[in-house]
Amino acid sequence: MPEFIYNNKLYYNPVEFAMDRIGGTWKMPILWRLKDKVMRYSELKKAIPRITHKMLTSQLRELEEEGFITRKVYAVVPPKVEYAISPRGEKAIGIIEAIRQYGIELMKDFGVDSADTKAK
Amino acid sequence: MPEFIYNNKLYYNPVEFAMDRIGGTWKMPILWRLKDKVMRYSELKKAIPRITHKMLTSQLRELEEEGFITRKVYAVVPPKVEYAISPRGEKAIGIIEAIRQYGIELMKDFGVDSADTKAK
DNA sequence: CTGGATCCGATTTGATACTG
DNA sequence: CAGTATCAAATCGGATCCAG
């Protein structure tokens, strides 16, 4: 069993390390949306409607600090800030796609249908 | 963007659904250890030393309730309980392996080495 | 040996107000 | 438009005790 320290935190395996970088409720959805286009803060906010302002901001900060996305500020009024995926972020897209496929299979296995909500 | 309800919780995408099933700090490590062998509670506890009693039991319960593992109780004194991976759990092993590989790549990318701890 | 229950502190998240 | 700060609510996790 590997065991290592990163950023003052003790990790026990690579899975835990990876999930700490791109896991959580919002990071993968954010990266996924930046997959093939640059987006402004407000566009991301609209694209992920239920995320709160605080969570979107904090998750973007963390993704930026760890090099998965880049942040470009335009010196205009009102402010314009564009977020784009970085090479490191692009490497994450593959595993996100894999998890996504697994999730779809799992949903079938559980008999969950994405039409359920609309049906309500 | 798909959107559906499972177990009274609203999900926005398959990734979130999958991570709610097998995510968190301990579920993948548990499934991973049951990959190719049946294990007793105490064996799991030893194999994942830093997990607490409370977390191990609660995570085993959830994995069992959602069909990723099976639980077999022997009517003996003292009690003997064996946990084994189920077909649904076996399907999870593939994605865990993929995440593991990604995690290893990510660690290299970050310059993290599993020898760090031992070096200390 | 296995596991449930309780207490409690720590961490996370949401709502809201404020700023250039 | 984008972002920060603050407070409160909710969730999570660890330690501990009891039980068959």
Give the span between the Cα atoms of A16 and B29, in whole angstroms.
9
Q: Which residue is nearest to nucleotide D5 (CA to C1')?
A: A54
CA distance A95 to chain B (A): 7
Residue B26 has pLDDT above 50, yes or no: yes
Which chain B positions have a beta carbon within 8 Å of A28's beta carbon?
15
Reference A44, options A84, A102, A13, A11; nearest CA is A84
Give the span between the Cα atoms of A83 and A69, in whole angstroms.
7
Residue B77 has pLDDT above 70, yes or no: yes
What's the pLDDT score for residue B49? 87
Residue A1 has pLDDT above 80, yes or no: no
Is B4 in contact with A113 (Cβ distance < 8 A)? yes
Which chain B positions have a beta carbon within 8 Å of A63's beta carbon?
none
Any CB–CB contact under 8 A between B113 and chain A?
Answer: yes
Domain boundaries, chain A: 27-117
Give the span between the Cα atoms of A25 and B83, in whole angstroms.
29
Q: Mind giving me the DSSP string for A15-61?
A: HHHHHHHH-TTTHHHHHHHTTTS-EEHHHHHHHSTTS-HHHHHHHHH
User: Is the whole-model pTM more than 0.85?
Assistant: yes
* CA distances from residue B76 to A42, B56, B60, B61, B69 in whole angstroms, order as listed: 62, 22, 21, 21, 22
Rounded average pLDDT over B41-45: 98
CATH 1.10.10.10 assigned to B27-117: yes
What's the pLDDT score for residue A118? 44
Any CB–CB contact under 8 A between B77 and chain A?
Answer: no
Q: What is the pLDDT of residues A29-59, one digit of tens each?
A: 999 999 999 999 999 999 998 999 999 999 9
Contact indicator for B30, B48 with CB cutoff of 8 Å = yes
Rounded average pLDDT over A11-40: 96
Which chain B positions have a beta carbon within 8 Å of A112's beta carbon?
4, 6, 17
